[in-house]
Structure 1
Amino acid sequence: MSLQALREQRAAKAKALQELVKKGGEWTADNQAAYDAGIAEIEAIDANIERHQRMNQLAAEAALSNGVIDAAERIGRDQDSEASRLFAKWLRGGDNALSAEEWRAHLAAVQNTMSTTTGSEGGYTVQTDVAKSVLDALKAYGGMRAPGMATVIQTAGGNPMSFPTSDGTAEEGEIVDQNASASDADVTFGTKDLPVYKYSSKVVTVPIELLQDSSVDVEAFVRGRLVTRLGRITNKHSTVGTGTNQPNGVMVAAGTGKTGATGQTAAVVYDDLVDLEHSVDPAYREGGECRFMMHDDSVKVVKKLKDTQNRPIFLPGYDPANNGKLDTLLGYPIQINQQVATMAANAYSIGFGDFSKYVIRDVMDIVMQRFTDSAYAKKGQVGFLAWLRSGGNFMDVGGAVKRYRNSAT
């Protein structure tokens, strides 16, 4: 069965389960049995989809490693992007591969940053459209950059930036008698900084065979590796960063909305989730942007929870635009983020609220360096290192996101 057919099959079963849970009447043992069987079928389909995707990924990686890709397609793409063509040319041959004319023509975006101590060390400031493709690809490696989550902005430089803040959740107007004066109630403003930090991809080594084979999409190979590494570390810091010499993660900055009762070191109950939901002001909940965020292991826990009528509160999604998946909990979407703590004593294991109030700032000036010194040459390799300046902070002061904390004992 094709991947698309599997997704359509999942969507159909998820829709049937939603109709089962939402229909009126008593929730019977037969209903529960049908629900459990449906969830089991969906999990089996999900596993099949994952296997298909993994096989496709392995096939793509093998094709890339063996230099067996469609060179014509690559050439066509390069013709659409002069920056991409120059970037790939520099990856293969280094600074000397670019002609004087190419350096002059793109001086605003390409610069030589040769090290004063290592003659084989060349730098390349990645051009805007290539930089954007790198930054856009980061969203695939982290829950905080997923659609509907953090607000991501891009700035040309890393100069200091502050955001104004003001908490108006407790403010209200008044009734004024005829000919009477209105009362004063000045708005209090504050600021929150949004600094950026220097991230390294660590050195990516590429065999010279890949660089020499003109049919290999070496740009995609190198970019894929550095995106994976940068995506994981920046998502980690946006989620659980301490705020000291690194971004302030949302699961650190947000307030606590509910703490589990004694004995719930690795559990959460229905009432806890309801309390967590209502710990966020209705002004945020009614905005339509709220969702739950948790580790996949925690999703397994909440899948088993029932409401006061013994109906499941987890509903599998069937939105074809989201690959057939838009799972919900208490009617809110669930965002899986593997950097959120799993359930354990005192762990902040579930977040709920409007995560768009968290701002991620990327600096467009991504720099790559190319190494061909003896440490790599003797292994027949060339090393590449990417630098990215990025930061993040929770810009809300009104409690847009709250956390569930497992009990201590």
Structure 2
Amino acid sequence: MSIQNLRERLGALKKEARNLIENKGSATWTKEEQGKFDELMDEAERVENQIEAVQRLMDNEAEDSFRDAKKKERGEKVDPAMAAFENYLRKMGNRLTPQELEAIRNTMSTTTGSEGGYTVQPIVASTLIEALKDFGAMRRQASRVVTTNGSDLSYPSTDGTSEEGEIVAQNASAADADVAFGTVPLNTFKFGSKVVTVPIELLQDSNIDVVALVNGRLRERIGRIQNRMFTTGTGTGQPYGLTVAASVGKIGATGQTLTVAYDDLVDLQDSIDPAYQVDGLGWMFSQAVRRVVRKIKDTAGRPIWTPSYDEGMAVRRPDFLLGQPVEINNHMPAPAANAKSISYGDHSKYMIRDAMEVTIFRFEDSAYLKKGQVGFLAWARAGGNLLDTNGTKTYQHSAT
């Protein structure tokens, strides 16, 4: 079965499950109806796993054979900086004309040129950084700030949840209540792509969009490591991850090292201060947690999970849990003793900082050329931290 057929099958299963929920409304569910819903969700999970396996196989084949190499659009206008970057990617150093070398040096910093690398212009760096959200849930949900360099930075934060006004008598003076500002560190860390090798034939093929090809490989690798660090980073030699910076809103009862109960999810929602109970709240957890929570029923036996489906396969719509959207992030911890496996709240309170200092190295020594390849390595600087711990809370499993 093709991956398209699998996706259509998944959409049909989710649609049937959603219709079952909508048709029952607020009525109490029978055991047969609960069983039917669980069967649909079990089958949906099997299809999702199959889609993931097929996609992973396709990605691995594309990685090995470069079958995903895009063709250049004819007649497309190219920015001079991007043209110089393309020449840098395509041509051996000894084959660049004096004019091409000058263009590269004029448009790309030569601070590392003696070692074969260049700190690329912001217009080049942005093509790499902007697409990183495709490789991680954190960038899809978090806020973002861009700086021109990676110097240490303290970002202002404030907590106004306990502030309150007053009643003032006639001719009396208003009381002072200065806003208390704090700071959270938003320092950057250097993320490396590891060396990406590209066959010389592809670099020599003028019909191949080599910029998209190389950038695609680099950002996949950097995107994945950044998402993991923004999720679980310790703050020591790496960013403060969401699960480390966020406070715990609910701890599971003894025995819930691998499970979560309906009441736990309700309590986690209610642990968010009413001041934050506005649009933008949502859940974040891994597929391992999804297997647990999407079979939970409320006191009337109704599923608390509302599956969504992509009508026409054109728009990605999240599933809902207790009325709020779910973002799947497989770097969130799996259920385990003391693990913070679920996050709920306003995840835009997490701030990602990107420094536009992206350095790219080209390797064309004998270790690569004897295999008919050229190597590329990117360094990108980024950091992250949760600016307001009141806006996001986590569920922590019991210790025993």
Calculate the TM-score normalised by the size of structure 2: 0.88
Looking at structure 1, the residues matched to 371 and 58 of structure 2 have their Cα atoms a distance apart, in angstroms, of 30
Letter in 2 for 1:349: S
The alpha carbon displacement at 1:83 in A equals 3.4
Distance 2:192 2:63 in 1: 23
1:25 corresponding residue in structure 2: 27
User: What's the Cα RMSD here?
Assistant: 2.8
The residue that corresponds to 1:291 in the other structure is: 282
**1:92 corresponds to:** 90
2:124 to 130, 141, 148: 130
Q: Indicate the percent of aligned positions where both proteins have the same amino acid.
A: 47
Residue 300 (str. 1) matches residue 298 (str. 2): no
1:25 partner letter: A
CA distance in 2, matches of 1:382, 1:56: 23
The residue identity in structure 2 corresponding to 1:316 is P
Aligned to 1:112: 110
What is the alpha-carbon distance in structure 2 between the residues aligned to residue 155 and residue 109 of structure 1? Answer: 19
CA distance in 2, matches of 1:243, 1:378: 42
**Candidates 33, 36, 58, aligned match of 1:34:** 36
For the 8 Å contact 2:109–2:120, the answer to whether it is kept is no
CA distance in 1, matches of 2:232, 2:243: 5
Q: Taking structure 1 as reference, are residues 344 and 404 closer, same or farther at Cα in structure 2, changes over 3 Å only? A: same
Partner of 1:196: 188
Q: Determine which of 223, 236, 241 is the counterpart of 1:231.
A: 223
SS at structure 1 position matched to 2:126: helix
1:176 pairs with one of 160, 168, 172: 168
Structure 2: how far apart are the matches of 1:336 and 1:182? 48
Matches of 2:267 and 2:132, distance apart in 1:
33
Taking the aligned partners of 1:164 and 1:291, their CA distance within structure 2 comes to 24
Distance 1:113 1:205, change over 3 A: farther
Question: 1:155: how far off?
Answer: 2.0
Which secondary structure does the structure 2 equivalent of 1:366 belong to? Answer: strand
Q: How far did residue 135 of structure 1 move?
A: 0.9
Residues 242, 248 of structure 1: 8 Å contact kept: yes
* Change beyond 3 A, Cα 1:225–1:264: same
| Preserved contact between residue 203 and residue 383 of structure 1 (Cα < 8 Å) | yes
Asked if residue 389 in structure 1 is aligned to residue 381 in structure 2, the reply is: yes
1:86 is paired with a residue whose SS is helix
* Match in the other structure for 1:403: 394
> Secondary structure of the residue that 1:245 maps to in structure 2?
coil
Shift of 1:355: 0.8
Distance 1:378 1:95, change over 3 A: closer
Q: Structure 1 residues 98, 128: closer, same or farther in 2, change over 3 A?
A: farther
Are positions 1:12 and 2:12 aligned together?
Answer: no
Secondary structure of 2:116's aligned partner: strand
Q: Distance in 2 between matches of 1:335 and 1:70?
A: 29
Which residue of the other structure, out of 320, 331, 343, is the alignment partner of 2:323?
A: 331
The answer to whether the Cα contact below 8 Å between 1:18 and 1:316 also exists between their aligned partners in 2 is no
> Is this contact kept in 1: 2:28–2:302, CA < 8 A?
no
CA contact (8 A) 1:260 1:405 kept: yes
CA distance in structure 1 between the aligned counterparts of 2:120 and 2:108, rounded to whole angstroms: 7
- Structure 2 portions without partners, runs of 5+: none
Secondary structure in structure 2 of the residue aligned to 1:231: helix
Q: What SS does the aligned partner of 1:238 have?
A: helix
Shift of 1:319: 5.3
Whichever residue aligns with residue 234 of structure 1, its letter is: Q
**Residues 149 and 356 in structure 2, CA contact (< 8 A), matched pair in contact too:** yes
Q: Does structure 1 retain, via aligned residues, the 8 Å contact 2:357–2:380?
A: yes
1:32-59 deviations in Å (ceiling 9; x for gaps):
1332243245445545655775676567
In the alignment, residue 190 of structure 2 is paired with which amino acid?
K
CA drift of 1:17 comes to 3.4
Distance 1:401 1:265 in 2: 22
Provide the C-alpha distance between the structure 2 equivalents of 1:70 and 1:201, rounded to a whole number of angstroms.
21
Corresponding position of 1:256: 248
Aligned partners of 1:364, 1:87: CA distance in 2, in Å? 16
Equivalent position amino acid for 2:117 in 1: G
Distance 2:13 2:61 in 1: 24
- SS of aligned partner of 2:388: coil
Segments of 5+ residues of structure 1 without an aligned counterpart are none
Report the CA distance shift for 1:218/1:10 in structure 2 as closer, same or farther (over 3 A).
farther
Q: What letter corresponds to residue 305 of structure 1 in structure 2? A: I
Is 1:209 aligned to residue 201 of structure 2? yes
Instruction: Find the aligned partners of 1:351 and 1:322 in 2 and give their Cα distance.
Output: 28
How many positions carry a matched residue from both structures? 396
Given that 2:84 and 2:107 are in contact with CA atoms closer than 8 Å, whether structure 1 keeps it comes out as no
> Could you say if the C-alpha distance between residues 98 and 363 of structure 1 is closer, same or farther in structure 2, counting changes exceeding 3 Å?
farther
